[in-house]
Amino acid sequence: MGGPSFQSKVVEYELKDMLHAIHNFAKNYKPKILYIFVDKRINTRFVIDEMNPAPGTVVNTSLVESMNPGQHDFFLIPHKATVATALPVHYRVAHNDTTLSNKQVE
């Protein structure tokens, strides 16, 4: 994911330019965009009652931010950990103009 400064530059330049290009592509062309950063290289670990969380576990409170409307982040346990501690994946929704709610995105 490249860290906060990289993300802010991507949102400021790449996302802004991409949205501009898409919305100016054709008069009636108005796709819905969901832009997500995915970070697998994190040091965060989750344990529930001295056990690894089950695959599909979503952490979307306390450790995460709810930024501007259409922006939030969450952690997801993508697979079963049989050795050591489960490695969650951190997702940051940078832009969401779809009809999907935060819960549906997660």
**CA 72 from centroid of its chain's CA atoms:** 7
Which of the four pLDDT bands, split at 50, 70 and 90, describes residue 2?
low
Q: CA distances (Å), 47 to each of 41, 53, 83, 84, in order?
A: 18, 6, 13, 11
> In this predicted model, which residue has the larger pLDDT, 24 or 12?
24
For residue 14, pLDDT beyond 50: yes
When the pLDDT of each residue in the chain is averaged and rounded to a whole number, the result is: 81
Domains held by the chain: number: 1
Identity of the amino acid at 45: R
Which of the four pLDDT bands, split at 50, 70 and 90, describes residue 1?
very low
> Which range of residues forms the domain containing residue 76?
3-105
pTM for the model stands at 0.76
Q: What is the CA radius of gyration of the chain?
A: 16
For residue 84, pLDDT beyond 80: no
CATH number at residue 76: 3.30.420.10
